Chain A
Amino acid sequence: VMTQSKLSAFFRSS
């Protein structure tokens, strides 16, 4: 099953 990842999994809040 393909799951849509979120950007927060890759980029940190600044």
Chain B
Amino acid sequence: MFEARLTEGSLLKKIIEAIKDLVQEANVDCSEEGLTMQAMDASHVSLCSLNMRHGGFDHYRCDRSISLGLNLANLGKILKCAGNDDVVTLKAEDEPDTLTLMFESPNQERISDFELKLMDIETEHLGIPNEEYKCTISMPSGEFQRIVRDLAVIGETCIITCTKEGVKFSVSGDLGNGNVTVRQSSAADGDEKDQVKIQMEEPVTLNFALRYLGFFTKATPLGSTVKLHMSPDVPIVVEYPIDGIGSISYFLAPKIDE
């Protein structure tokens, strides 16, 4: 028996919205520890990794580890039937063919349940080494979204350069070129969540497809902060912490000069 209850059901809506344009089908693994998901986009250039700790749920029970093969577009359709203030409960048997989703309005006046058919999905699981990155940038997620959206109008590839002073996002295209530099905030600058913080061992410059960075920014509603982890010649990690429950991280392979 698997049962997971989230008082803030809208969180689940936001999570699926953040994934479904990048990944069509995915296995969500449920264990005593919580929910995890790892899935690549169709062209195997990027990967999305979701982690929701059991402690972040209001009720969580998982007697036996199970894998839920989900069509994310279809799950999104069902979650659209939930109100934004609804409590959402997920339920599945030990060897499930379906996932049951129950939505309860805050005053308990409306209770609905839906069953989503599960699929057998063969996926390739990648082992991601737990490495220390040379640069970690923490910045407001809305700011990152804006930069990606703005630069995508000009070109396809973004050069991200991280130095101690700041992070430079550069693009060039047929109409011209552009740069946006965000500088490290000084300690006195305003709110923690509005700050740009850079931890750097050595400067890093990498090239990335703006199209994929754009997919990642669908996670912006999940939190005020995004973290970018970069090291030379390896995929970037774009991590959105989800307050109190876990995180969603996207890995994107760099574009390489040949």
Chain A interface residues toward B at CB < 8 A: 1-14
Contacts and interface: CB of A to CB of B under 8 A. Distances in A.
B44 A5 contact: no
Contacts of B254: 5
Interface centre among A1, A6, A11, A13 (most CB of B within 10 A): A11
A8 B235 CA distance: 11
A8 B44 contact: yes
A14 B127 contact: yes
B127 A7 contact: no
Main secondary structure on A side of the interface with B: mixed
B187 interface: no
A7 B40 contact: yes
A7 B257 contact: no
B258 interface: yes
B258 to A, nearest CB: 5
Given A7-B44, A7-B46, A10-B235, A2 B255 contact: yes
Contact of B207 (A2, A6, A10, A14): A2
A10 B127 contact: no
B81 interface: no
A9 B235 CA distance: 10
